[in-house]
Amino acid sequence: MRQTIINVSNRLPVTVGEQIKRSSGGLVAALEGMGDERFDLKWLGWPGGEVPDPARRAEVERTLESEFGCVPVFLTREEADGHYEGFSNTSVWPLLHYLPTMFRYETPWWDHYRNVNGKFADKVLSIARDGDLVWVHDYQLMLLPAMLKEAKPSLRIGFFLHTPFPSYEVFRCHPKREELVLGLLGADQIGFHTFGYLRHFRSSVLRLLGVDSEVTRIRHHGHTARLGVYPIGINAPRFAEELDKPEYRQKVEHFRDVYRGKRLILSVERLDYTKGLLRRLDAIDLFLSERAPDERDTIKFIFISIPSREGVDEYRVLREDVEARIGRLNGKYATLNNSPIHFIHGSVTFTDLCALYGSAAVGMVTPLVDGMNLVAKEYVAAQDPEQPGALVLSNMAGAAQELDAAVLVNPYDMDGVAEGIQHALQMSLDERRERHADMMRVLRRNDITAWHERFIEALTSAGTARSKRAESQERQRLARVAGIAVRRD
């Protein structure tokens, strides 16, 4: 009998309108292939939008379950706004990303957040059976593990945080900081992208609750929450397959014709203030004015900005600021033969994206802070190993912990970023090949399959003899990373 995994996220991997269609996204791509012969994967979450009509709601529920393997949690518009746009994205998100100046909190948001987490708990409990695994994802559902554990202690519950976890001094700004930490401690297994995020979480537990911990576990009120580091990867074989298709090669040739005589520097990001787009443009300004004044005809920056939270005022203002800044830079540095920045606000097809990755001499990924950042890994995966480009990567992204062969830059240092662009463009072919080979070894070792298999293995075997041996080894490994000594079992 296959193991059932109830995968719980804020949004389902579908879009519900007049028709129900499968949607894309980072988590959707991450969990591709999990529902194979080993697992029966059920996906539980909000279907997006309000479905007030009971008959339509029943129809949507039947279709989602039968055709998509999804279990919907229906919310009113008020609940969704208060929980997601309010509490999650306006109070929790900024602090997780070290941006307290963007933080705002309103008491009604907390009521919606707690109530929505309760609705998710009720839905999980209505379908969960003994032996099922429940895997909860991300900051929108931080109360859910404790709610589930209190209602049904026999459930095996995992939680993975896809964002950074900040230092205690930042996280303590949140009025509900203790409640959020206690919510996570209901999980049996808590996963982070990097050891630094795990360390910050342990520090917050100690400072907020007075509970000490070991490197890989926290004991609280008779329950043990195990901690682990599981850097998320990409579906590298999918990129390898795409690069073999004739459609891909045709697109590459098309872009080479369109941008003939120019070296491309590619930036692909969601339109979000954590991505540092305005600072990136400042660095480009500095680069064009001081480091490459004679190359304005031969260098082209391509900005692909994926729309994000366009109903939120801060994001609308950000888009206006980015577009205005790009307009000024194009006016300042345009020549008769070239405008330096080509800005696209919208999504592109996977084939187009891969072809742009493969055509770009430099991939520029400089968020102010990021839990991981898969764009950096995608750029590397799409490179020709014989003629690879160079990756300029923010040292504030989780990916920098793995891709240390990239040109690492401080996204707050404009001159340093400009220097990083220059270094990447001037790098020899031998050096680019060596760096690319190092990064590809990391991508293959920590691909998307390894990510979910390692997490599920840890969650499944928690407390067994096999798990205790693995946990002891993991504690020793993390201790070496942290430079501390730990007790051997």
Q: Which of 112, 137, 162, 436 is catalytic?
A: 162
- The verdict on whether 384 is a catalytic residue reads no
Give Rg (Cα) of the chain.
23
Report whether 228 contacts 214 (CB < 8 A).
no
CA distance 141 to 386: 44
Q: Which residue has the tokens 């500095």?
A: 286
User: What dihedral do alpha carbons 245, 250, 252, 257 form, nearest 10°?
Assistant: 170
CA distance 383 to 417: 22
Residue 354: how many CA atoms within 13 Å on its side-chain side?
23
CA distance 216 to 486: 10
Sequence letter at residue 464? T
CA distance 366 to 409: 8
CA distances (Å), 416 to each of 65, 248, 279, in order? 51, 34, 12
CA distance 9 to 116: 12
Q: Which of 83, 370, 436, 452 is catalytic?
A: 370
CA distance 53 to 59: 10
Burial 135-161 (b: 16+ CB within 10 A, else e): bbbbbbbbbbbbbbbeeeeebbbbbbb
Report whether 268 contacts 377 (CB < 8 A).
no
Q: Pairing state of beta strands 223-229 and 189-192?
A: parallel
Write out the two tokens for 160.
Answer: 């993975």
Write out the two tokens for 465.
Answer: 């003899």
DSSP H or E run through 236: helix 236-243
Q: Pairing state of beta strands 14-16 and 20-22?
A: antiparallel
Report whether 391 contacts 403 (CB < 8 A).
yes
- The verdict on whether 345 is a catalytic residue reads no
Write out the two tokens for 98.
Answer: 């070290």
Sequence letter at residue 95? L
Q: Which residue has the tokens 């746009």?
A: 85
Strand order in the sheet with 362-365: 341-345, 299-306, 263-270, 362-365, 390-394, 407-409
- The catalytic residue positions are 162, 370
